[in-house]
Amino acid sequence: MIPTFHHADFPLGLLREHKREPVTVVLPAREVAGTIVPIVESLSALDGLVDQVLVVDAASEDGTGELARAAGAEVHQETELMPSFGQVKGKGDAMWRALSVVRGEVVVYLDSDTR
């Protein structure tokens, strides 16, 4: 049987105490001005657990990138990441290209369009 866990099994204090590797959270984003700020702020509040909050913006026209930066995220336009590979071909491609600028040994991908 495969063991399963619930997030409550890992209190934040315990995670901070045992954390060894730097963690980067990558948020691929397109036109998510309504949700990006609370997500970035909640990740930034995990002081000692998340070392880099990285937003990969898909040329949003609603201010997503600017809002994310103002909330404390590092923001890159997807077209600026690994341009030698040509046009970005969707979310998965943007997520892969984000690896070129992450600093963490542990990389976590989260959606940026949910509350």
Q: pLDDT at position 13, please?
A: 79
What domains does the chain contain, in order, with CATH numbers?
20-109 (3.90.550.10)
Cα angle 26, 89, 85 (rounded to 5 degrees) comes to: 90
Q: pLDDT at position 48, please?
A: 83
Residues 51-69 have a mean pLDDT of 97
The residues with which 24 forms a beta bridge, in sequence order, are: 52, 107
Edge-to-edge order in the sheet of strand 23-29: 74-77, 52-57, 23-29, 106-109
Q: What's the maximum distance between 2 C-alpha atoms anywhere in the chain? A: 48
Residues 24-39 have a mean pLDDT of 97
Q: Which position has the token pair 């590092």? A: 74
H-run or E-run covering 18: helix 12-18
Q: pLDDT at position 19, please?
A: 78
Residues 59-83 have a mean pLDDT of 96
Total residue count of the chain as it appears in this document: 115
